Amino acid sequence: MCMRTIEQTTQEILDLATVQFKVPAGSLAADDDFYKKLGIDSLQALEMLSRLENHFRIELPDYEVQGVSDFKTLAQRIQARL
């Protein structure tokens, strides 16, 4: 059973991205385009997904996150698998 709310999931994603990409705390928001905000390419985004998989203990197929570029949608995809 999923114990997290979508808000909690979103916040945990933002916190992990903040640490992984060394951006100032509180500078990321749910609606942010992570490619743009973090200045990352698709490979770096895949690396971020690996960390998120480990953190949430889930498996996210690559195609599930194709076309996803904001933290909010990413959180929804993760939440659906928790």
Partner 1 sequence: MLDLKKYNSVGEALRDALETWPTEVCLIESDRGEEKQRLTYRNFKDKSQPLAKSLQDLAIGPGDRVAIIMTNQSKWLISAYAICFCGATLVPLDFKLKPEEQWQLLKHSGAKVLITEYGIWRQLCVSPARAAAATLKTVLVTEAPEHAELSGAERWESVKGANPPVFVPQKRQDIACIVYSSGTGGTPKGCMMTHENYLEQCVALTSLYPFWPGVRYLSILPTNHAIDFMVGFFGPFTCGAAVVHLRTLRPEYVREAFPKYEITYVSLVPLVLKNLQKGLQARFDALPDPKRKALDAMRSINRALTKDRPRPWLSRKLLGEVHAGFGGKLEAIIVGGAFTEPQTLQFFYDLGIPVANGYGLTEAGTAVTVNDLKPFRADTVGKPLPGMEVQIRNSDNDGIGEVTVRSKTVMAGYLNEPELTAETIVEGWLRTGDMGRFDSTGHLQLFGRKKNMIVTEEGKNVYAEDVEQAFEGLHVKEFCVFAANFIWSQRAMVNEKLLLVIHLEHGQAFTPELKSEISARNAWLTNYKRVHGLVIYQEDFPLTASLKIKRSELAQRLATLDREQSILPI
Residues engaged in binding partner 1 (CB under 8 A): 33, 35, 41-43, 46-47, 49-50, 59, 61-64, 66-67, 69-70
CB atoms within 10 A of CB 76: 14
Separation between Cα atoms, residue 16 and residue 55, nearest integer Å? 9
Q: How many helices (H) and strands (E) does the chain have?
A: 4, 0
State which residue, 25 or 63, has the beta carbon closest to partner 1: 63
State which residue, 4 or 51, has the beta carbon closest to partner 1: 51
State which residue, 5 or 50, has the beta carbon closest to partner 1: 50
Minimum distance of partner 1 from residue 42's CB (angstroms): 6
* Contact criterion met (CB below 8 Å) for 49 and 63: no
